[in-house]
Amino acid sequence: MGPVIAVGKPLLLDCEDVAWFRDQPDAARGAAAALGRRVGLGEHRTAQLVLAVAELATNVTKHSNDGSVLLRVLRDPAVAGVEVLVLDTGPGMADVPAALRDGVSTIGTLGIGLGSVKRLADRFDVHSVPGVGTVQLARFWPRPLPASVAGEAVVGGITRPIGGEVVCGDAWAARSDAGAGEEAARVPAEQSGSRLTGSGAVPDWSAMTAAGTGHRAARHAAAEPVRSSRPAGERSELVRGAAEGPGQGVLVMSCDGLGHGPMAARASQAAVHAFRTGSGRTPEQVVEEVHRALRGTRGAAVAVARLEAGGRLLFCGIGNIAASVVTTGTRANLLSHPGIVGSQMRQLRTYEQRMPAGGTLVMHSDGLSERWRPGDLATLLHHPPAVIAAGLLRHAGTRRDDASVVIAKGAW
C-alpha cells in the first residue's frame, strides 16, 4: 500500500463557491467575465474562460433534464484561478472520447465543441454515464501556468445552498500539517459556500437552486451515531489520547451550521476560521478549538479527519455529518456522536482506521441522503476530488437543505 501523502507538501487549494446558475447561460457567461477580471486572469485568459462557460452552459441548458453550472474561485498563496463545474441528470454521453474530438459540437451551442473547451482549460475532466448524467470540470489559471498549481489537489468539495438563499450554511476546509517532531507547514484550503469576498464591491450573484423546505436543528442534536457497514475485521478502533504521527498529514473538516441562511453561514465561517488559524493537530484538538469559536453562534455539526502517510486515518465527529472510507466495492462508515459543536458537546472520541489501497474519504452533510452505495461512486473514484463530490451531490442531494460534500483522495 502506497503512502497517503506524496513526498513533500500535498497540494491543497483554497476553494470558494461563488454562484450557481440553472438555465441561465447568459448570466453564467456574464458572471464568468466579471470573475475572471476580478481574480486577475487577464483579458485574454478571461475571454477564453467566457467562451468555455458559454459553450458548457448553453449545452447543459439545451440537452439536460436538470443541469446546473457552478462558478468558483481557486487560490494558493501566490495565484488565483476560476473553476467551472457543470452537473446534470441528462442523457449522458455514450462515447466521451468521441465527444472531445475536433469538429464535434452539440446542436445550438457556439460550435467550439468540448474538445476546444478541453484545450482552453488548464484542467478539463468529464464523467458521464448514459441515462444518468454528466459532470464536467474546467479550470483556468493565469498564463503561463504557475508550477505551484500544476498538479491535482488531494482534497476537493462542493456546497449548494437551499433554494432561495444566496449563502450556504455548510462549509468545508482542509490544511496540511507536519507530523510529530516536525515544524508545521500549513497550506490552507477552504470553501465556505458564500459569495466572493475581498477588497472592493461584492457582486450580488444569487445562487440558483431548486426550492426546498427548511432545515431542522433538532436533527443535529438528536443525531444517532453513523453505523458502520464494513466487514468484520475492518472496524475503526476507539483511540484514547490520540496523537499525530510522523511526516506530512492532511486535516479535513466538514461543517453544517444549524438551520440555513446567513446565521448558519456565520457559524460555519467561524468554524472554518478556527480550523485555519488554530493550533490543533489531532481531530479532537481541532473540534475543541472549533467548539470554543462557535460559542455565541447557532452551533454546528462538525467532523474532522486526519490522513497520514502510511494510510492511518484519525476521525472525530459531532452531529449529523456522514463520513465513510470508500473503495469501488466497499463503504466503511465512521462513527460520529450526538451533539452540537458550540453548544452541547459530550466527551470527544477519536477513532482510528487504516485506509485501504485506493481508498477515498467521503464526508457530507445531511443535505445528502446516506442511502448511496459504493457502486454509485465506482466509476467516479479515478476522477479529481471535486468531480467525485459533484457526482455524489447530484446522486444523493435532497434539495431540501443546504448541502455539502468533501472528498480526500491521495496515493494510498
The span from the CA of 26 to the CA of 93, in Å, is 24
Low-confidence ranges of the chain (pLDDT < 70): 1-8, 101-112, 179-235, 411-412
What does the pLDDT read at residue 181?
54
What angle (nearest 5°) sits at the alpha carbon of residue 191, between those of residues 315 and 382?
65
In a domain, 135, yes or no: yes
In a domain, 298, yes or no: yes
pTM assigned to the model: 0.85
What does the pLDDT read at residue 180?
64
| Cell numbers at 346, concatenated | 459530550
In a domain, 1, yes or no: no
From the list 55, 79, 82, the residue with the least C-alpha distance to 70 is 82
What angle (nearest 5°) sits at the alpha carbon of residue 133, between those of residues 151 and 23?
95
In a domain, 9, yes or no: no
What strands, in cross-sheet order, belong to the sheet with 68-75?
A: 14-21, 68-75, 80-88, 133-140, 123-129
In a domain, 3, yes or no: no
For residue 71, which amino acid is it? L
The span from the CA of 301 to the CA of 321, in Å, is 6
Q: What is the DSSP string of 136-186?
A: EEEEE--SSPPGGGSS--SEEEEEEPPTT-SS-SEEEEEEEE--TTS----
The span from the CA of 64 to the CA of 153, in Å, is 29
| H or E element at residue 61 | helix 43-63
What does the pLDDT read at residue 370?
96
CATH number at residue 110: 3.60.40.10
**Total structural domains in the chain?**
1
What does the pLDDT read at residue 324?
97
In a domain, 42, yes or no: yes
Query: Which residues sit opposite 259 in a β-bridge?
Result: none
Residue in the structure block whose three cell numbers are 468521441? 98
In a domain, 383, yes or no: yes
Q: Which domain holds residue 381?
A: 14-409
From the list 255, 383, 306, 326, the residue with the least C-alpha distance to 10 is 306
